Every structure is written in C-alpha cells, then in structure tokens.
C-alpha cells in the first residue's frame, strides 16, 4: 500500500514539474492523474519491427473533452489506446474505463470517442465518421503485430516482425443510443437495415454507384439517409 501511495505521489510531482517547466508540451491539469497510466514500453522485438503501431507516429495537438483542454496525443491502433505526451520520452495512456472521452485532433480532422451500444460502453475508441441525428457511423482503426519467422534448417531467410497496414472496420448505429453493429459491405444486406426506406436507399446506391467499402461513399449515403427522417 505504501508503494502505491509513493507512486501516486511521484506521478503527481512529475505532473507539477512538467506543467511548470516544460513549455514544449501542453500542461496536464489537475484531475487527470486518476485517468492516466504509465505506458509499458513496446517489447524489444516490436521495436525492431517494420512499420508502426500508430496511425500517425507524430504527436499532434488535440482537444480532450469533457475537460476541453489541449494535449499532444497519438492513437495506438494495435492496443486501441490514446497516448498523451508529457515530455520528449515520457508518455501516458488515457484510460477511458471510467470517463467518456472525446479526442478531437483538428490538424487531421479526426475525432476519437467513447461510444455506447444500447447502454453498454464499447471498449477503446471509435472514430466518428458520420454523426447524424438518427443514423451514425463509426470506424475502428486496427493494426496487428506479426511475429518474425526464423529460417528453416538449411534454407530460407529470416522474416522480420512487422505491423500490418491499418484496417478500417465500419460500424453503424441506426438510432441514438441504439445498438452498434458492423456495417454490411453487401448492398442487399445494407438496404435491409432501412426497412421503411428500402426503395429510396436502393435507388441512391444505384444512382451514385456507392461502394460500401469506401469511407467517402459511406459518408454520402448515410448523410442522405439521415435526410429521409426529417
């Protein structure tokens, strides 16, 4: 117990020192200490891997709500975490288990947020694609770490470990606070989601040659579908 108290004291002191002396990073405000945790550094094998676990390696200014404060952050797509930079080589992870966060990275126009499916908090962060009055769409950005492979006994080459390219998985919420489900890629299944407007949705998909794997096309059709409710 004494070790825990001592660790909390040390972390608190580091926040105070950083906010007073480090002008290169946005200052952390009181009250965040309980929702930030030290990041365990990536395993040595991962450090030697090709690629990166991040969507963007660079830390960028972002506004974190509900506190409306600015920090330097980046998204770890392998671990589904928002990392906050305190100093050059000091990072913490924003813990959203107890607080509903909304992280707006204005420089690249991306918003990461906590979402609920029928009242149940979904783990990690989702990127807002369409925030509609009725129908909304989010996406998960996923990267995986692939272990390296040693060569066979007398032939073959060593394959370095690597991080996969980012994969986007889209999710749709058909009503505010409703169920979040994976967005179908097949047009027939997609149309069935909107039973009262199947004809209009089918026509729009055809007229505009919508590809349900493309984010820009998903934005178009969902924005249109929201107008059908007004």
- Tell me the per-residue pLDDT of 207-228, one tens digit each, with 9 for 90 and over: 999 999 999 999 999 999 999 9
Q: How many domains does the chain have?
A: 1
* Residue 26 confidence (pLDDT) above 50: no
- Cβ neighbours of residue 181 under 8 Å, at least 6 residues apart? 171, 172, 173
Residue 85 lies in a domain: yes
Residue 109 lies in a domain: yes
Tokens of 49: 């891997």
Residue with token string 């998204």? 75
- In angstroms, how far is CA 92 from the centroid of its own chain? 16
- According to the model, what pLDDT value does residue 28 have? 46
Tokens of 202: 């089918």
Residue 21 lies in a domain: yes
**What is the Cα–Cα distance from 36 to 77, expressed in whole angstroms?**
18
Comparing 85-89, 112-116, 165-169, 195-199, the range with the smallest average pLDDT is 85-89
CB atoms within 10 A of CB 2: 6
Q: pLDDT-derived band of residue 153, with 50, 70 and 90 as boundaries?
A: low
Comparing 90-94, 174-178, 212-216, the range with the smallest average pLDDT is 90-94
- According to the model, what pLDDT value does residue 46 have? 53
Report yes or no: 59 and 75 within 8 Å, Cβ to Cβ.
Answer: no
Q: What is the pLDDT of residues 130-148, one digit of tens each?
A: 999 999 999 999 999 998 8
Q: Concatenate the DSSP letters of all residues of 114-138 into one string.
A: --EETTEEPSS-EEEEE--SS-EEE
Q: What is the DSSP letter of 194?
A: -
pTM greater than 0.75 (yes/no): yes
Residue 42 lies in a domain: yes
Residue 23 lies in a domain: yes
Mean pLDDT of the chain: 81
- According to the model, what pLDDT value does residue 40 have? 41
Residue 44 lies in a domain: yes
* Residue 21 confidence (pLDDT) above 50: no
CB atoms within 10 A of CB 153: 6
Residue 58 lies in a domain: yes
- According to the model, what pLDDT value does residue 151 have? 74
Run of H or E including 226: helix 215-227
Residue 155 lies in a domain: no
User: 73: closest CA among 33, 30, 97, 107?
Assistant: 107
Q: What are phi and psi of 40, to 5 degrees?
A: -75, 125
- According to the model, what pLDDT value does residue 58 have? 92
Which residues constitute the domain of residue 32? 2-130
CB atoms within 10 A of CB 12: 12
* Residue 11 confidence (pLDDT) above 60: no
- According to the model, what pLDDT value does residue 49 have? 86
């Amino acid at each position: 117990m004494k070790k825990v108290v001592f660790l909390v004291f040390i972390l608190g002191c580091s926040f105070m020192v950083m906010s007073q002396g480090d002008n290169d990073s946005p200052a952390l405000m009181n009250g965040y200490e309980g929702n930030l945790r030290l990041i365990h550094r990536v395993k040595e094998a991962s450090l030697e891997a090709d690629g990166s676990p991040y969507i963007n390696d660079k830390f960028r200014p972002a506004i974190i709500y509900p506190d409306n404060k600015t920090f330097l952050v980046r998204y770890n797509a392998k671990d589904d975490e928002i990392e906050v930079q305190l100093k050059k080589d000091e990072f913490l992870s924003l813990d959203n288990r107890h607080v509903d966060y909304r992280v707006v990275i204005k420089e690249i126009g991306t918003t990461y947020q906590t979402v609920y499916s029928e009242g149940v908090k979904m783990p990690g962060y989702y990127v807002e694609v369409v925030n509609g009055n009725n129908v909304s769409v989010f996406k998960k950005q996923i990267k995986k770490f692939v272990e390296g492979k040693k060569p066979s006994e007398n032939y073959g080459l060593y394959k370095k470990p690597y991080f996969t390219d980012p994969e986007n998985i889209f999710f749709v919420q058909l009503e505010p606070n409703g169920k979040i489900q994976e967005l179908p890629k097949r047009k027939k299944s997609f149309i069935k989601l909107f039973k009262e407007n199947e004809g209009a949705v089918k026509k729009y998909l055809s007229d505009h040659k919508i590809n349900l794997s493309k984010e820009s096309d998903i934005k178009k059709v969902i924005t249109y579908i929201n107008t059908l409710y007004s």
